[in-house]
Every structure is written in structure tokens, then in C-alpha cells.
Amino acid sequence: MATVEELKLRVRELENELIKCKQKQCAMEDALHRPKIDKMSAEVVDSNPYSRLMALKRMGVVEDYEKIRTFTVAVVGVGGVGSVTAEMLTRCGIGKLLLFDYDKVELANMNRLFFQPHQAGLSKVEAAELTLRNINPDVLFETHNYNITTMENFTHFMDRISHGGLEEGSPVDLVLSCVDNFEARMAINTACNELGQIWMESGVSENAVSGHIQLIIPGETACFACAPPLVVAANIDEKTLKREGVCAASLPTTMGVVAGLLVQNVLKYLLKFGSVSYYLGYNAMQDFFPTMAMKANPQCNDRHCRRQQEEYNKKEAQRPKVEVVEVEEDVVHEDNEWGIELVSETTDADLQAASGTMPDLPEGITVAYTIPAAQDTTNGETVEETEQSLEDLMAQMRKL
């Protein structure tokens, strides 16, 4: 006899099955599936989905637009920013997209772009693939519905980053972090440092009025563990910001802007036009866009980051010295008509108790928190050496 729990689970399974069937049927009904296109054409006709993109070549903005079809991009997190990012890359005709997300589409997501109410209940990666394939059948998709931060999944994630390229076995060209939490960002950072994989990080603040994008080249630019998270000063008095009863706010506008900034940077990086931003912030309250670049921290906690730095420094030392154009981003604003200033996320008491050094950052960018330079040496008792085995301890815990 099945238990209520089992039956509930079964109902849920069947519901999911039904949603998928409906989805497939819808897709079949309304899809005027255009055939795949072998070669991008620059011909300006109504039926050519790439004509306006190829015009970038004629105008001299991009040298070789077709090259976009040779690239593979992994999008981690297919939420408010990631889904729009994936759609933009799909419309641009990217070669292959890998999508990672463990979440389902919910009606609570409908204040954001891309997903539609009838997709509620489907996994985000599955729903995204159906929509995106419909928009552009030339793109190859690979989806993974799991949480990358757990042991098994992380191993698989690393494997797909290093082998999931267009030509199976080759690494992806770029990883985009569109996740909404620190753990997942750190997991991506760990993977990319180990693999030497270039990636871009993106984020929107929990109050929905600021965001940022950041290019991370392991060993060269600061990784995500090199410094406390960089955030855009929102210029809202923390004391007036009410956090009672809510976790996070979100706006389709801010997320759309950040996704746009991110994909713009991706296109510039992949197709080699314009200048690629290392860090670009967006302060929605004042419409202020601070930029900066930050070198990797030789004392970074991540040993693979330090290893990548050694390799990078070796390579740099071997390179014939050409005039080094060091763009030291020392932005000085004569006037400050918007009254933008650094706003600390912590209380004054906290700062006094453990004031860490504030890195030298341009106006409008700050760190989420500071960390004391030298960990206040072991004041406080530590665990004692024990003769007990792990099994003994587990048993002891169970008996409590």
C-alpha cells in the first residue's frame, strides 16, 4: 500500500508529465519551425534572421560576425538575468549554449522577463530550451537540471566546462555566472580557477536597484575569492532600508539592463570589438556606471588562483617588454553633484570590532564587507585533539 507521501509524489510526477505534454503540443502547434541555416547570409531580405547582425560587418563594427557560430557559452543560473542572457545569445546566433539551473519556473518569477505563466512547474533549463530552440534552431543546447555546489554535481559541472564545447571534448569559450547566491558564485570561481577558464560574473543587488558585471581571467584579474564581493554603492541609507518580512526584491528593468551589459561584454570579448570591461557597475538610483579593473591578489585564499597567478607571471616575464600601458583606474571626480559616496554594509559597531582594510576602489564601488587583514590570532578555544574515531563521534552525537 502506497503511503500518502508516495502518492503525493506520484501526483506531482504526473502533473509534471502533463505540463511537458502540453508544452510540447503548444510548441508543435505554434511553431512555424524554420529550417536550420547552414551559413549566415548578409543578404537583406525579410526571411533572413541574421541580416541585421551581419550588417555589423558592412558597417565595420565587427570584422567577422559569422565567427559567433564557433563559440560555446555556458550560462549558470537561468533566472532573471540568465534567461535573458541566454535569449540574447540565442538571437545573436551563438554556436552552443550550456544551461545550468536546479530551479523550477514559478508564478513568483513573472515579474521578470522571458518565462511565461504556462511554463510554471517546468524546470527552468527545460522551459528555456524549448523557447530558445523555437527562436533559433541553429543553436545547439545542452541543459543540466542540478545544483552545481554539491559534490557529485560539481564534478560533472567541471567536466562539462572543460569538455562541453562545440567540438565535443573541447572546453567552452566562456562561462557566465548569472546565479543569485554567494555559494554558487564561489563554486563557479573554484571550477574556473582550477581549469584556467575565463568567465564573467554578473549580479543584481537584493534591493534590485544596483548591479554589476565582471570579467575574470584566472591568474590575471582578481578572482571572486581575491577580495570580499565588490558591490555598487546604492546610496540608500541602510538604516532606512526595510528588510522586515522579505528576502529579496527584483525588477525586470535592472535585470534586463544587467543582462544587456553582460551580453554586450560577451560579444565584444568573443568577436573582438570595442573595449571589454573588467568591472562595470550599474547604480539605478543615480544612473551612475562606475568601472574599474582589479589585479589578482597574491594572498588569495584559493590555491588554484595563486597557481594561475604564478603561471601568468611567468608568461608575462617571458614576453618581450613592449611599452606597458597600465591603465590605473584612479578616477577622481572633481564634483559630486549626486552625492555618491561609499556606503558600508555593516554597522559602525561591527566595523570597530573588526575593521578590515578597505581596498582602494573608485567612487561608487565598495565591498560587501571587510575582513581583518590578520585573523585575530586564536583568541577563543579550539577543538581538542581526540583519540575518538569519526564513527565513535557520529555514534556519540546520535546518542545525545
Q: Does 239 bind other proteins (CB under 8 A)?
A: no
Residue bearing cell 519556473: 105
Q: How far is the CB of 155 from other proteins (least distance, A)?
A: 9
* Active-site residue identified among 21, 247, 300, 305: 247
- Name the residue nearer to other proteins (CB basis): 104 or 144: 104
Among 190, 205, 283, 309, binds other proteins (CB under 8 A): 190
Q: How far is the CB of 26 from other proteins (least distance, A)?
A: 25
Decide if 247 is catalytic: yes
How far CA 376 is from CA of 146, 335, 355, in Å, comes to 38, 39, 11
Q: How far is the CB of 68 from other proteins (least distance, A)?
A: 32
How far apart, in whole angstroms, are the C-alpha atoms of residue 170 and residue 176? 17
Among 42, 166, 186, 217, binds other proteins (CB under 8 A): 186
Identify the DSSP state of 295.
B
How far CA 5 is from CA of 9, 10, 101, 176, in Å, comes to 6, 9, 26, 38
Coil, strand or helix: which one is 175? strand
Q: Does 312 bind other proteins (CB under 8 A)?
A: no
Which listed range, 176-184, 255-263, 309-317, 326-334, lies at the site for other proteins (CB under 8 A)?
176-184
Coil, strand or helix: which one is 307? helix
Among 349, 352, 357, 374, binds other proteins (CB under 8 A): 349
Among 346, 359, 362, 363, binds other proteins (CB under 8 A): 346
Angle at 29 between CA 25 and CA 31, to 5 degrees: 110
Phi, psi of 74 (to 5 degrees): -100, 125
Residues 104 to 143 in contact with other proteins, rule: CB under 8 A? 104, 106
Which listed range, 129-137, 162-170, 239-247, 314-322, lies at the site for other proteins (CB under 8 A)?
239-247
Identify the DSSP state of 18.
H
Identify the DSSP state of 80.
T
Q: How does 46-72 read in b/e, with b if 16+ C-beta sit within 10 Å?
A: eeebbeebbebbeeeebeebbebbebb
Closest CA to 131 of 39, 16, 24, 46: 24
The full DSSP string for 305-324 is HHHHHHHHHHHHHHS--PPP
Site string for other proteins, 368-397 (x = CB under 8 A): xxxxx--x--x-xxxxx-x-xxx--xx-xx
Q: Does 6 bind other proteins (CB under 8 A)?
A: no
Residues 196 to 225 in contact with other proteins, rule: CB under 8 A? 225
Residue bearing cell 537561468: 78
Which listed range, 3-11, 53-61, 133-141, 246-254, lies at the site for other proteins (CB under 8 A)?
246-254
Among 111, 116, 170, 181, binds other proteins (CB under 8 A): 181
Under rule CB under 8 A, how many of the chain's residues touch other proteins? Answer: 51
Strands (E), 120-196: 140-144, 174-177
- Binding interface with other proteins (CB under 8 A): 103-104, 106, 147, 149-151, 154, 181-183, 186-187, 190, 225, 228, 243, 245-248, 301, 345-347, 349-350, 354, 356, 368-372, 375, 378, 380-384, 386, 388-390, 393-394, 396-398, 400
Active site residues: 247
